[in-house]
């Protein structure tokens, strides 16, 4: 059982969007946590780690106490991911705003 938990955690860390889509298709919890399709779709597109954390810590009594720490961790992971995307984009030669000129042969 520990191996399954470790594989699930590794999969979520590597491909959170894939696991969220699988949860949307196969999980009964999805309909309980989300009342609509709009917010989780935005979460899958823009904040996948935060959406995963919200899914994991949500309970019928609400989110309280240390649950917020996990959601904040998800927000930080998403912010770091978007920062890395911007840094990688600026490394492309010839990309506007990168400061590097493209060389033509």
Query: Is residue 28 within a helix (H) or strand (E), and if so which, with residue range?
Result: none
The per-residue pLDDT for range 29-78, each reduced to its tens digit, is: 888 898 889 999 999 999 999 999 999 899 999 899 999 999 999 999 99
Residue 99: partners with Cβ closer than 8 Å, 6 or more residues away: 90
- The number of residues making up the chain comes to 105
The greatest distance separating any two alpha carbons of the chain, rounded to the nearest whole angstrom, comes to 64
Give domain limits for the chain. Answer: 16-90
Cα-only R_g, the chain: 18
| Cβ–Cβ < 8 Å for 74, 50 | yes
Higher pLDDT pick, 104 / 55: 55
Of the chain, the percentage scoring pLDDT greater than 70 comes to 91
Per-position DSSP letters for 45-68, written without gaps between them: HH-HHHHHHHHHH--TT---TTHH
Model pLDDT, residue 98: 66
Q: How many CB atoms lie within 10 A of CB 40?
A: 20
């Amino acid at each position: 059982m520990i191996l399954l938990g470790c594989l699930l955690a590794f999969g979520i860390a590597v491909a959170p969007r894939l696991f969220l889509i699988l949860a949307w298709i196969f999980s009964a919890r999805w309909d309980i946590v989300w009342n609509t399709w709009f917010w989780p779709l935005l979460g899958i597109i823009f904040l996948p780690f935060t959406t995963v954390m919200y899914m994991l810590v949500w309970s019928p009594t609400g989110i309280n106490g240390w649950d917020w720490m996990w959601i904040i961790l998800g927000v930080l992971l998403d912010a770091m991911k978007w920062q890395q995307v911007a840094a990688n984009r600026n490394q492309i030669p010839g990309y506007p705003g990168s400061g590097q000129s493209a060389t033509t042969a």
